[in-house]
Amino acid sequence: MADISANFLGIKSPNPYWLASAPPTDKKINVLRAFEAGWGGVVWKTLGSQVKNVSSRYSAVNFNGARVMGFNNIELISDRPLDINLKEIKEVLKEFPDRAMIVSLMADNDKQSWHELIKKVEDTGAHGFELNFGCPHGMTERGMGAAVGQDPEIAKMVVEWVMEAAHIPVITKLTPNVHSVVPTGKAVVQAGTNALSLINTIQSVTGIDLDTFVPNPYVAGKSVFGGYCGPAVKPIALKFLATISQNEITNKVPISGIGGISTWKDAVEFMLLGASNVQVCTAAMKHGFRIIEDLCEGLNNYMDEKGFKTIYDFIGRSVPTLTHWEDLDINYHHVANINQNKCIHCGLCYIACEDTSHQSISITKGNPYNTYAIKEEECVGCNLCQLMCPVTDCITMVEHRVAPEYLNWKDFQAQGLPLNDH
């Protein structure tokens, strides 16, 4: 069996799966259940000044019969008294000393408040901090959360305050509510943060009640922008993660990947783009803590199949494959191929190509069904037909190079080749 244990900043855990800072990590009873189920670690729900939450707090986007494709919340940091949280953190650590215990923090915007909160949390024996620079609602109005993460200079200042007082590793959690996470990422790395985590939730409106005309979630006839997460945000999270992994300053520190991770395959994708571990929330809220069994088993089996001994054998492997558009090989080409033995004659490929793409599929009408074939000379290899086909491997994309040599757009222009002759 492969070794799926993780060592993040010297913080060891039996697997790379942590529960993200959120309702599932808000109290002792939840965290004990998570550890009993097998989770490698938790990031305790954000601690800071006392807050009061509203009701209701959650909404979701469903798609094509599936519940909670995207999840939205307007919940603030922990609304439980700080001393109770600190007491429970200490108690959990005594019961599960082999699991990672990270505590999310969001202190008031002054050095003394951060130093005092850090000292209190360190006294629990926690293994590390995660600085919440990402909460996109409620706390931003107080100049906290995403209001810090959106300003690299402020973020740098706060991290410098933290590093003055912290004696355990510090992870800085970045907000995706920016054009790029790199400027803030660079600023906090230069300020001394030991690691980065991303992404936090994305500001959103998930839907509107067509009878009350109020967006969800509903609070006495009003609503606000919430934080969006769940499977729908995974592609955005992977993009932001890749930009951090590609940057020569931000990739010097470990990265904890967050955003829509629901399966072991999702986790592997995050690690291939540079994450040293991953954090999960929505999937646990939807399926319960025992989802960790599938996450670990799937990762184990994948690593055995590929011959990977540890997770560090493949972390970051996909980063070099992401390049600039101008460097792509324009002599490389695909042509679609329809396997007539697998085709169910639904016509979805034909409709998609004929109405919205390149009219590259022919139709032969017949009885009892129509048949479809690729017009190879017209096919541009866009993948649309394959994506629309409901039958696995019925439509495949076959390599069909225009020319054997590599040619990118910059060289193409430099050679002065005419577009219509290429």
CA distance 261 to 280: 6
| Confidence band of 421 (pLDDT split at 50, 70, 90) | very low
Kind and range of the H or E run holding 380: none
What confidence score (pLDDT) does residue 114 get? 95
Tens digits of residue pLDDT in 126-155: 999 999 987 765 455 556 556 788 899 999
Tens digits of residue pLDDT in 296-310: 999 999 999 999 999
Instruction: Extract the runs of DSSP E, i.e. beta strands, from 174-269.
Output: 195-198, 202-204, 226-229, 255-258
CA distance 149 to 175: 6
Q: Which CATH superfamily is domain 6-321 in?
A: Aldolase class I (3.20.20.70)
CA distance 261 to 270: 9
Catalytic residue (choose from 135, 296, 379, 394): 135
Query: Could you tell me if 273 and 222 are in contact, meaning their C-beta atoms sit under 8 angstroms apart?
Result: no
163: left (phi over 0), alpha (psi -120 to 50) or beta: alpha
pLDDT averaged over every residue in the chain: 93
CA distance 261 to 165: 33
Tens digits of residue pLDDT in 172-182: 999 999 999 99
Tens digits of residue pLDDT in 202-235: 999 999 999 999 999 999 999 998 989 999 999 9
What confidence score (pLDDT) does residue 144 get? 57
- Assess whether 281 carries a catalytic annotation: no
What confidence score (pLDDT) does residue 21 get? 96
The candidate with the shortest Cα–Cα distance to 279, out of 297, 256, 300, 295, is: 256
6: left (phi over 0), alpha (psi -120 to 50) or beta: beta
Domain ranges for the chain: 6-321, 326-421
Dihedral sign for Cα atoms in the order 211, 214, 219, 225 = positive
What confidence score (pLDDT) does residue 109 get? 85
**CATH class of residue range 326-421:** alpha beta
This prediction's pTM: 0.94
CA distance 361 to 338: 10
